[in-house]
Chain A
């Protein structure tokens, strides 16, 4: 079973300015695709289009060969998107935050097992001992790590990550980079924008915008 996300003649116009035009993309299992371009070149817009958030584009999207609008549910069930903002509620503890995300993926948060999974995921991002601390008391980098814990907690084939390295320390960057490569090696696929220099890898390829 392999996955593929394809775009044909993708074009996005924001207020009379073409961000990009005639873009053809094939993103398949086992790839890390890095979207590059200067600020304002439409990287975030492209990620939002490819993750099904923006409907304001021309061209067509295909998920495993079927038109996106017909298989949207299946696509969303296999997508993990992390945006600029980490999506972490400062009023809730990391554990409660993850429990909600777990429930959105269809797992009941009452299970003993699912709590175990949340704890594991938090431990994997180096937040053991912070499970019950309100997320508002964590640093920006730690909040980002809570969001990154979702990569382990809710396994999805397609990761769409918008600047995931923001506010993460050097050690964390190395771990995350390894996680991306492992995911691709395991047959998953990663779409990422970052200003951080990624270590060269045969799995990595670049798409330049602007």
Chain B
């Protein structure tokens, strides 16, 4: 167990294994997203209530799922970094934060666009959208805190602590926002809590969700790899690697 964790923690080992894993996730992401969006946008039946505008669900829901999952992944990486001092975990957390913020923004934007045909306005203080907005602020806080420190070690640990504090608060925030919303708008129409969808509608949705996750994993692997090279630039193995590649290119 211990040996495995430390092996996983070695940037060099991670750099090697991620090179092997990465293509699979890219292929899976491409296949799932292309099939899912074609099916969802062109072939799935229109919604009996919302017509074709419901199809934005195929972007909104996967983005919203990912926005929350990335925060959890970031906090778990932070915990791993703090407890076992594994630097790769922190590098992954560092590259996940902007990605999570981007996904949160996509979820918010698609929600706003969806609001136009549904509510007739770009913004409603809907429980889901409000929680998503707060999540965006949490992401921005983590990113800003990491950027504010001059020492990278301190920045990493501060961002880890904040991510963990945030992840404890996310369920509390979600619960209280839901409670607040039901109190103020007792009987209104929410975007995605609706009667059961027919299979032709939700199957492409599942594909899109899985596709988004694969995309996230592939992108995180890729960006963690470049982060490793950046941070370990003065290490022997990176310099050897560069030398080899330069020779190959000749």
Contacts and interface: CB of A to CB of B under 8 A. Distances in A.
Complex A–B touching at CB under 8 A: yes
Interface of A: 14-16, 56
9 contacts: A14-B151, A14-B153, A15-B151, A15-B152, A15-B153, A16-B231, A16-B233, A16-B234, A56-B153
Contacts of B231: 16
A56 B85 CA distance: 9
Interface string B141-152: 000000000011
A85 B240 CA distance: 45
A61 to B, nearest CB: 15
A206 B73 CA distance: 48
A14 B153 CA distance: 8
A16 B232 CA distance: 8
B5 to A, nearest CB: 17
Interface of B: 151-153, 231, 233-234
B154 to A, nearest CB: 8
Contacts of A14: 151, 153
A16 B153 CA distance: 10
Contacts of A56: 153
A102 B127 CA distance: 53
B230 to A, nearest CB: 10
A180 to B, nearest CB: 32
Given A15-B151, A15-B152, A56-B153, 5 more contacts: A14-B151, A14-B153, A15-B153, A16-B231, A16-B234
B206 to A, nearest CB: 44
Nearest to A58: B85
Considering the complex of A and B, which 9 residue pairs feature the smallest CB-CB distances, nearest first? A15-B152, A56-B153, A15-B151, A16-B234, A14-B151, A15-B153, A14-B153, A16-B231, A16-B233
B157 to A, nearest CB: 8
A15 B151 CA distance: 6
A58 to B, nearest CB: 9
Contacts of B152: 15
Contacts of A16: 231, 233-234
B224 to A, nearest CB: 18
Nearest to B234: A16
A14 B149 CA distance: 13
Contacts of B151: 14-15
A15 B234 CA distance: 11
Nearest to A18: B234
A15 B154 CA distance: 10
B78 to A, nearest CB: 16
Most interface-central of B153, B231, B233 (chain A CB within 10 A): B153
B239 to A, nearest CB: 13
Contacts of B233: 16
A167 B234 CA distance: 40
Nearest to A13: B153
A18 to B, nearest CB: 10
Contacts of A15: 151-153
